[in-house]
Amino acid sequence: MKTRALGPRGSTLWIAAMIHRLSGLALAIFLPVHFFVLSLAFHGGARLEGFLRWTDQPLVKLSEVGLVFLLTVHLLGGVRVLVIENFDWHDGQKQLAMLAASVSAVVAFVFLVRVF
**Residue 96 in contact with residue 80, Cβ under 8 Å?**
yes
**Residue 34 in contact with residue 55, Cβ under 8 Å?**
no
Share of the chain above pLDDT 70, in %: 89
> In the chain, what are the domains?
12-115 (1.20.1300.10)
**Residue 20 in contact with residue 73, Cβ under 8 Å?**
yes
What does residue 6 show for φ and ψ, rounded to 5 degrees? -90, -20
Count, residues in the chain = 116
What global pTM score does this model have? 0.63
Q: What average pLDDT does the segment 61-69 reach?
A: 86
Taking the C-alpha atoms of residue 65 and residue 114, their distance in angstroms, rounded to an integer, is 10
pLDDT band, residue 28 (cuts 50/70/90): very high
What angle in degrees, to the nearest 10, is found between the helix axes of 93-115 and 58-86?
160
